[in-house]
């Protein structure tokens, strides 16, 4: 079966996020006030093939641990769905 995995990788909350801090500090310059904190991470979409959902989850987890995320500095979360399922879109 074919699956789509959506992965979010973020810096650990205990670590400074200089890129996020810069964005947060500059929000007032574009007229957006009241922003206290910004954390910037990565969003990755993978298409993969696996026998079943369990195998797909294992593959995605392994990809995150071994390549996509620096587990010393970042956390990751992911969700998978069958490729033929329609994604819900939030704008």
Answer for the pair 83, 77: CB distance below 8 angstroms, yes or no: no
Looking at residue 31, what is its pLDDT?
A: 96
Contacts 24+ apart (CB under 8 A), 53-56: 53/3, 53/80, 56/1, 56/3, 56/5, 56/80
**Which two three-digit tokens encode residue 21?**
């801090």
Distance CA 64, CA 55 (A): 14
Q: How far is CA 87 from CA 1, 16, 22, in A?
A: 17, 33, 33
Give 14-57 pLDDT, tens digit per residue.
999 999 999 999 999 999 999 999 999 999 999 999 999 999 99
Task: Spell out the CATH class of 2-82.
Answer: alpha beta
**Which two three-digit tokens encode residue 2?**
């074919």
Looking at residue 85, what is its pLDDT?
A: 67
Q: Domain limits of the chain?
A: 2-82
């Amino acid at each position: 079966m074919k699956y789509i995995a959506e992965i979010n990788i973020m810096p650990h909350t205990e670590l400074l996020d200089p890129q996020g801090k810069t964005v947060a500090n500059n929000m007032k310059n574009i007229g957006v006030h009241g922003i206290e904190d910004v954390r910037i991470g990565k969003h990755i979409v993978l298409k993969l093939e696996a026998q079943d959902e369990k195998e797909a989850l294992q593959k995605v987890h392994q990809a995150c641990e071994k390549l996509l995320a620096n587990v010393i500095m970042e956390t990751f979360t992911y969700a998978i769905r069958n490729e033929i399922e329609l994604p819900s879109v939030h704008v």
